[in-house]
Amino acid sequence: MIQVAVFGYGTVGSGVVEVIERNNSIVSANSGDKVNVKYILDLRDFPGDPYESKLVHDVQTIIDDDEVSICCETMGGVGAAYKFTKMALEKGKSVCSSNKELVAKHGAELMRVAAEHGCAYLFEASVGGGIPVLRTLTTALTAERITQIAGILNGTTNFILTRMEEDGADFDETLKKAQELGYAEKDPTADIEGHDTARKISILTDIMSGHFVDSDAVPTTGITGITKTDIAMAREAGYSIRLLGMASRNEDDSVAVRVAPFLVKKSHPLAGVCDVFNAVFVTGNMLGETMYYGKGAGKLATASAVVADVIDAARKGSSTMYSGWDETPVTAAPSSGERFRYYVRCLGAKYDDVQAQFPGGCRMGSFGGETGFVTGMMSEEEFEAGCSKLGDAVLGTIRIYD
């Protein structure tokens, strides 16, 4: 019998219990032995819940039980989740996590602790929810030199951007709708300001580069500045706006990471990723382009990825581990060689000044006294220097993903 404990009985934790129970025959067959949830750890009581008898409030009960070989950490945060994960790993219990914040901050250390104690720290569900992208990067794509990863990694913001485009609505009313539908948190800051995407692209970059990238150091712009005029002008010109986490390999082999909205050509597969769906677009030097698509959040989709890690840990123990990454942080700053085309929303009356400042660009369209313009390829420094000369004529700018 493979005895499992679940830390945190919220949305994902209860999903983990449901996947193990409903798919028990397949989960057990693939694990090589019967899988059973022995404990559920939560501070709360759940009177009447079918698994009420498994509830414990003290993590020590689980840590001290030698029958428990695998823990699922679905608590979130970097406080108790970090402490309990470390306690479990130090007792040789593998931990399978959906906690992107913890993996982004302490993933390298926790993998080292797991290796030292002959168990595994696995976290497929931390990026892209149910999309099997981490394991793909660490198994199927290991012959590749990954040159770029561009991901739609946040369902809340993708829902908002898609609805703004489809409904012609502005940001505030679409955010409200997302909250009413349960797609956005009451406090949506981490999603709409891009911090959630920064954590996920940092984890992908850690794997891509073998070095720790601190998500707090990733240049991050969210979607709060996107107006319905931006969306309308982009649409007219054949683009959708998507919030991308992007990691690009520089010529010197370092990796530039950023989170920002981009104009994406309608013909690009990332533009077809709508509503709460996520996708990760990976470019390798031999394979070329591949894309992994699916539900980036949600109870059962995310739980399915956690339980797949449980099966991996049960079958392979410590040998299932990702190769990991250095614990010392490296800079993820974009290189000065990076070049983009830029969309500029400017005051219609100042359009000629904008055009003169960025020769070689072209007009996109006009709405309500504002005009859209697309520059030629240029470096960030060149673009910012041009914008600073234009002052208040520039109302908004967005990079173009070519």
Piece in contact with ligand HSE (CB under 6 A), picked from 66-74, 154-162, 232-240, 329-337: 154-162
Contact by Cβ (8 Å): 399, 377 = no
- Say whether residue 209 binds ligand HSE (CB under 6 A): no
Q: Say which residue the tokens 């306690």 belong to.
A: 87
> Which of 154, 205, 355, 371 forms a contact with ligand HSE (CB under 6 A)?
154
Supply the minimum distance, in Å, between the C-beta of residue 168 and ligand HSE: 23
Which residues, numbered 70-129, are part of the site for ligand HSE (CB under 6 A)? 129
Site string for ligand HSE, 284-313 (x = CB under 6 A): ------------xx----------------
Cβ closer to ligand HSE: 199 or 228?
199
Residues serving a catalytic function are: 200
Q: Please identify, using beta-carbon distances, which residue of 151 and 296 lies nearer to ligand HSE.
A: 296
CA–CA separation, 297 and 20 (whole Å): 18
**250 in Cβ contact with 256 (< 8 Å):** yes
Q: Which is nearer to ligand HSE, 8 or 296 (CB)?
A: 296
Name the residue nearer to ligand HSE (CB basis): 129 or 334: 129
In this structure, what token pair is assigned to residue 392?
């208040």
Member of 69, 156, 209, 229 binding ligand HSE (CB under 6 A): 156
Answer positive or negative: Cα dihedral of 16, 20, 21, 23.
positive
Decide if residue 191 touches ligand HSE (CB under 6 A).
yes
Q: Which of 196, 206, 309, 370 binds ligand HSE (CB under 6 A)?
A: 196
Q: Please report how close the Cβ of residue 297 comes to ligand HSE at its closest, in angstroms.
A: 4
Looking up tokens 């990694």 gives: 153
Contact 70, 93 (CB under 8 A): yes
Q: Is 139 strand, coil or helix?
A: helix
Q: How far apart are CA 211 and CA 217, in angstroms?
A: 14
Give the binding range for ligand HSE (CB under 6 A) out of 37-45, 61-69, 149-157, 350-358.
149-157
- How many angstroms separate the CA atoms of 178 and 222, rounded? 16
Give the shortest CB-233-to-ligand HSE separation in angstroms: 26
Size of the site for ligand HSE (CB under 6 A): 8
Per CB under 6 A, 202 contacts ligand HSE: no
For the chain, the maximum distance between any two Cα atoms, rounded to a whole number of angstroms, is 74
**10 Å Cβ neighbour count for 72?**
32
Q: Does 165 bind ligand HSE (CB under 6 A)?
A: no
Q: Is 328 exposed, middle or buried (0-12, 13-18, 19+ CB in 10 A)?
A: exposed
Q: Which stretch, 53-61, 153-161, 215-223, 340-348, contacts ligand HSE (CB under 6 A)? A: 153-161
In Å, how far are 178, 187, 295 from 156, measured between CA atoms? 7, 12, 12
- For ligand HSE, the binding residues (CB under 6 A) are 129, 154-156, 191, 196, 296-297
